């Protein structure tokens, strides 16, 4: 597909992508938009100009400060809008071309907002490499994976209220931790703040309490994917997690990228995930390819410098448990889901040491500090470090990217 719009060759937001987000500019209130190249298509204005005529979209659906009501319209509508915009972007006689000065907003002039109202948030633990690495560190190689790990997608219920959009600073958390195993715990700022490289999916359909989502239909309930940094305070978490699991070590903040990349845009990048052995129970069995070849990376930018150091290169396809299995397991007990719910993958680590998706693994619990470009070293994230996560798919001439999730860590108050 060739567009009349000047789209940079390596843009994450090609005509094959067209992700959704919520943005504002000037004195305009937040509204829905679609990213294309270095611009955002203002869907509210596009609707008023008749670009989406013939598609069953309620009036003022794009005026809302979140995408939930639009997502609720269903995939047939989302697909029709995407195809219409692709047609408009290719046709130099289109309404979009004619009104481009009113409908295309430069990204540099826009402020991005959290794209959905998040009712609930679940964080999975679906990377075998990550789970194995952590297990080796704390339980030894013989007990690296817990007995249940290869039989079900392990997860915990997280805190939705502290999920923030890219660009929102996160403050170092306070809490209890135990520096010395032979002494009582102390209270203070966490000394081991860490990033976790994740990808999350957004729920597109409500279910009733008691309803189960079959694995082979689970993708019908997924609107799209975002990059996700699930921040961790390792020292707080280590002290508190027995017997009930993550709490203050996790709920102080998670960062989400502003653009939701749809499954339709990711379709060309489907691939097979890891072989699952032993075979999973029938309700978790899926047919076909349910993994996606998404290149991921994490960079750290220290205070008072623009020099970034890429510390991790991983891939979404490494996940042992796929999204369909995660959602099937999440609802097999009758747990209901709602439009806008966020389901994160858990840390995505690969087989090579430079593909580990957290500082905990990259430094092997502090034993192997990372040297940054400015000459400083890290075993954890320092105050005023900026952590940047990126993701993209590439196949021949097609590039579909997620942009960035970028977060500055501020000192504890």
Residues taking part in catalysis:
130
What are the beta bridge partners of residue 229?
197, 255
Contact indicator for 35, 259 with CB cutoff of 8 Å: yes
Scored b (16 or more CB within 10 A) or e, 88-126 reads: bbbeeebbbbebbeebbbebeebebbbbbbbebbbbbbb
How far, in Å, are 123, 231, 288 from residue 133 at the CA level?
18, 18, 29
**Which backbone phi and psi does 78 adopt, to 5 degrees?**
-55, -45
Q: Determine the Cα–Cα distance for residues 406 and 201; give it in Å rounded to an integer.
A: 18
CA-wise closest residue to 258 among 202, 194, 339, 327: 202
Are the C-beta atoms of 261 and 226 separated by less than 8 Å?
yes
User: Residue 197: left (phi > 0), alpha (psi -120 to 50), or beta?
Assistant: beta
Q: How far apart are CA 401 and CA 272, in angstroms?
A: 20
State phi, psi for 269 to the nearest 5 degrees: -110, 15
């Amino acid at each position: 597909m060739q567009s009349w719009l000047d789209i940079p060759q390596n843009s994450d937001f090609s005509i094959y992508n067209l992700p959704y987000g919520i943005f504002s500019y000037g004195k305009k209130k937040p509204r829905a938009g679609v990213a294309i190249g270095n611009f955002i298509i203002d869907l509210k204005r596009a609707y008023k100009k008749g670009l989406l005529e013939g598609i069953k979209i309620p009036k003022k659906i794009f005026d809302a400060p979140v995408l939930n009501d639009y997502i609720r319209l269903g995939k047939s509508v989302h697909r029709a809008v995407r195809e219409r915009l692709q047609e408009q972007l290719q046709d130099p006689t289109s309404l979009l071309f004619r009104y481009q000065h009113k409908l295309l907003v430069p990204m540099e002039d826009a402020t991005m907002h959290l794209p959905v109202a998040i009712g609930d948030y679940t964080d999975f633990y679906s990377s075998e490499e990550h789970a194995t690495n952590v297990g080796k560190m704390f339980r030894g190689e013989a007990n690296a994976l817990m007995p249940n790990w290869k039989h079900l997608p392990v997860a915990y219920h997280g805190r939705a209220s502290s999920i923030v959009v890219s660009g929102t600073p996160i403050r170092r958390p306070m809490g209890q931790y135990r520096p010395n195993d032979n002494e009582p715990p102390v209270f203070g700022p966490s000394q081991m703040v860490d990033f976790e490289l994740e990808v999350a999916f957004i729920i597109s359909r409500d279910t009733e309490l008691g309803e189960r989502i079959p694995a082979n239909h689970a993708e019908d309930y997924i609107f799209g994917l975002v990059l996700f940094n699930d921040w961790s305070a390792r020292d707080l978490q280590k002290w508190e997690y027995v017997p009930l699991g993550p709490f203050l070590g996790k709920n102080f903040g998670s960062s989400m990228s502003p653009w939701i990349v749809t499954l339709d845009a990711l379709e060309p990048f489907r691939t097979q995930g890891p072989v699952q052995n032993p075979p999973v129970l029938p309700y978790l069995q899926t047919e076909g390819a349910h993994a996606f070849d998404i290149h991921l990376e994490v960079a750290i930018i220290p205070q008072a410098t623009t020099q970034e150091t890429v510390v991790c290169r991983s891939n979404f396809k490494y996940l042992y448990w796929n999204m369909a299995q995660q959602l099937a397991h999440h609802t097999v007990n009758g747990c209901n889901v709602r439009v806008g719910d966020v389901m994160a993958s858990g840390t995505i680590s690969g087989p090579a040491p430079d593909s580990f998706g957290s500082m905990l693994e990259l430094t092997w619990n502090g034993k192997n500090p990372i040297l940054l470009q400015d000459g400083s070293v890290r075993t954890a994230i320092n105050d005023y470090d900026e952590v940047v996560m990126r993701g993209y798919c590439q196949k021949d001439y097609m590039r579909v990217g997620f942009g960035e999730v970028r977060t500055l860590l501020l000192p504890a108050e």
